């Protein structure tokens, strides 16, 4: 497997290994062949990703300011989006 494009080749493999953590904090590996189902982290269930491309300076400022105030970047972005919605006369929708 070549290094270039290796993530794509992993995606297209016939079988994949899934790591599963049990209640006793033991980790086991299970081979999944041809599985089309995607597991979603509980924190992402019912949510949709929104992305944007910003300058390195903006990214750095947002990450540092969020950390300085004990927030995640996602939380800071949710606050900013809710402030923008208020500014536009809409109701904030939470996180």
Radius of gyration of the chain (CA): 19
DSSP letters, 32-65, are EES-------GGGTT---------HHHHHHHHHH
Residue 31 has pLDDT above 60, yes or no: no
Residue 76 has pLDDT above 70, yes or no: yes
CB 95 within 8 A of CB 77: no
Take residue 26 and report the two structure tokens written for it.
């033991």
pTM > 0.75: no
Residues 6+ apart with CB under 8 A from 65: 76
Residue 30 has pLDDT above 60, yes or no: no
């Amino acid at each position: 497997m070549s290094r270039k494009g290796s993530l794509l080749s992993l995606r297209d493999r016939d079988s994949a290994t899934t790591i599963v953590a049990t209640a006793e904090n033991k980790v086991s590996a299970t081979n999944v062949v041809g599985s089309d189902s995607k597991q979603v982290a509980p924190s992402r269930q019912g949510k949709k990703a929104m992305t944007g491309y910003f300058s390195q300076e903006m990214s750095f400022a947002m990450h540092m300011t969020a950390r300085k105030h004990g927030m995640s970047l996602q939380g800071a972005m949710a606050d900013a989006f809710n402030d923008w919605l208020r500014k536009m006369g809409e109701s904030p929708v939470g996180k």
